[in-house]
Amino acid sequence: MHVTIEESTLRAAHMSPGEFKQEIALHLYEQDRMTLGQAAELAEMSQHRFQHLLAARGIPAHYGLEEFESDLTTLHSATPA
């Protein structure tokens, strides 16, 4: 699906199309409507860069038990025996 943002809307917001996408992605992530990966993709940024944007805006990363357990599994499988 493609969404068209009118030039007049972008001018009124004083934003480029990329900035507008980033703002939408930040809002949807903050509202827990998108995952980090989905929001980064919408913002057309790497996840790492999007995390920096979140930090700069003071938006905490959503990091629950499921993500923690996944990270632990990854760390344990990467650690030499």
Of 16 and 74, the structure prediction assigns the larger pLDDT to: 16
Q: In Å, how far are 38, 76, 77 from 15, measured between CA atoms?
A: 21, 44, 44
pLDDT for 15-26, tens place per residue? 999 999 999 999
Give the domain ranges of the chain.
Answer: 7-78
- Residue appearing with tokens 């917001």: 13
pLDDT for 24-59, tens place per residue? 999 999 999 998 889 999 999 999 999 999 999 999
User: Is residue 76 within 8 Å of residue 68, measured between CB atoms?
Assistant: no
- Cα separation, 31 vs 67, in Å, equals 18
